[in-house]
Amino acid sequence: MRHQLFLFDLDDTLLDFRASEQLSFVRTMSALGYDGAIEPVFQDYQAINVGLWRSFELGLVDKDFLKVERFRQTFAMHALALDPEAASRLYLDALPETVVLVEGALEVCAALSQLGEIGIVTNGVEHIQQRRIASSGLGSFLSFVATSEACGHAKPDVRIFDYAAGMARAFVPAATIIVGDRLDADILGANRFGIDSCWFNPGGAPNGSEARPTFEVARLHELLPVLAR
């Protein structure tokens, strides 16, 4: 296997963020005293959250604004007299306690850690991502975690990839690969940085973007045989 440095996105690649997000949202709303229908509120929160993260990745908003604004907009949309700042605190506290692993994550990381070095590259809040990794059981397989908050730049900006490369024991572009679910962040960033990439695409979505993955897998268990070829 020619790859020696394995970079992974975290959310929706190793951790099932959507499952964790819903559990944390339900817990947050319950703590705020909300007892109405949760699903329509959660769906709108998800859409708002995705839009704000896109704005963050373009440098249009900062992380502190995003964390509260997603709740403020959601509560305004549903005319809920709830405190968005309290919601943000409760939600971020709940996230590390509602970790759900993507199938195969532990096994694949255990195997790759015997073949080289594993690092995480994530657009996330430093202390939250560190706590989630600690709760996941993945920590013993990882050499480092590079977050957008600590770096100051978010994927697909090549500066976060450069930041991650600087944290590695050894970085050789031709022997480095990133595995991630997002074409516009993980794969495009890898293209720009000049490293291989593997698109984790469990839903079989078409690629209509400019990003060009080196490999594509639908299940994490497929990763080792693909890289071995």
Q: What is the domain-level CATH number for residue 224?
A: 3.40.50.1000
> Identity (one letter) of the amino acid at 95?
L
Q: Please state the rounded mean pLDDT for residues 165-182.
A: 97
Residue ending a domain, choose from 68, 97, 126: 97
Instruction: Give the pLDDT of residue 131.
Output: 92
Q: Is residue 217 located within the same domain as residue 202? A: yes
Q: Is residue 92 located within the same domain as residue 197? A: no
Strand 176-180 to 5-8 pairing: parallel
Burial of 67 (0-12, 13-18, 19+ CB in 10 A): buried
Q: How many Cβ atoms are within 10 Å of 33's Cβ, its own excluded? A: 7
Q: Is residue 49 located within the same domain as residue 127? A: no
CA atoms within 13 A on the CB side of 52: 21
Q: Is residue 218 located within the same domain as residue 115? A: yes
Give tens-digit pLDDT for 94-108: 988 899 999 999 999
Q: Is residue 108 located within the same domain as residue 218? A: yes
Give tens-digit pLDDT for 61-79: 988 999 999 999 999 999 9
Q: In total, how many domains does the chain have?
A: 2
Q: Is residue 10 located within the same domain as residue 113? A: yes
Q: Is residue 172 located within the same domain as residue 196? A: yes
Instruction: State the catalytic residue, choosing from 9, 157, 181, 186.
Output: 9
Residue ending a domain, choose from 46, 63, 97: 97
Q: Is residue 64 located within the same domain as residue 90? A: yes
Instruction: Give the pLDDT of residue 139.
Output: 96
Residue ending a domain, choose from 77, 97, 117: 97
Q: Please state the rounded mean pLDDT for residues 23-33.
A: 97
Q: Is residue 73 located within the same domain as residue 105? A: no
Residue 21 is part of which domain span? 17-97
Q: List % helix, strand, coil for the chain (3-state, nearest 5).
A: 55, 15, 35
Q: Please state the rounded mean pLDDT for residues 220-224.
A: 97
Give tens-digit pLDDT for 30-59: 999 999 999 999 999 999 999 999 899 888
Q: Is residue 58 located within the same domain as residue 171? A: no
Q: What is the domain-level CATH number for residue 74?
A: 1.10.150.240
Supply the pTM of this predicted model.
0.85
Q: Is residue 10 located within the same domain as residue 21? A: no
Instruction: Give catalytic status of residue 9 as yes or no.
Output: yes
Model confidence band, residue 93 (pLDDT cutoffs 50, 70, 90): very high
